[in-house]
Amino acid sequence: MTFLSRLFRGKYNTISGSKLDNFLNNNNILILDVRRVEEFRSGHIPNAKNIPVGELSSRLSELNSYKDSKIIVYCAVGVRSAKAADILVKNGFNDVYNLSGGISSYKGKLNR
């Protein structure tokens, strides 16, 4: 899907937990955890940045350097991250992925 078609449709991509490993070795990627701080502290994907979905709109400036980078958004099961992915796409982020099934679909080791 091209940038213009994503922008026009306001859509993001979806990625499965099994395909996430292919992206994690890329240095030019943002893993964005949109769960509450307490959830994040209980275990998160390595190198993830935590911005709860309720704070995302007011904290978008923290992510400006990732406008043209791949961003993978996740939460517990995929509902909050879908909302966050919509927010990102509508604010000009160009390569956004929602982790289907949330953190439970990730089979790697979690950081605490």
pLDDT in tens, 36-54: 999 999 999 999 999 999 9
Amino acid present at 49: K
The answer to whether residue 112 sits within a structural domain is no
Q: Which of 14, 60, 8, 9 is nearest to 34 (CA)?
A: 60
Instruction: Give the catalytic positions in this structure.
Output: 75
In percent, the amount of the chain with pLDDT more than 70 equals: 91
What is the span of the domain harbouring residue 66?
3-105
In percent, the amount of the chain with pLDDT more than 90 equals: 74
Number of structural domains, the chain? Answer: 1
pLDDT in tens, 57-82: 999 999 999 999 999 999 999 999 99
In the prediction, which pLDDT does 9 show? 47
The answer to whether residue 30 sits within a structural domain is yes
The answer to whether residue 111 sits within a structural domain is no
Backbone angles phi, psi at 35, to 5 degrees: -80, 170
In the prediction, which pLDDT does 10 show? 60
Find the angle CA(63)-CA(80)-CA(58) to the nearest 5 degrees. Answer: 35
Amino acid present at 23: F
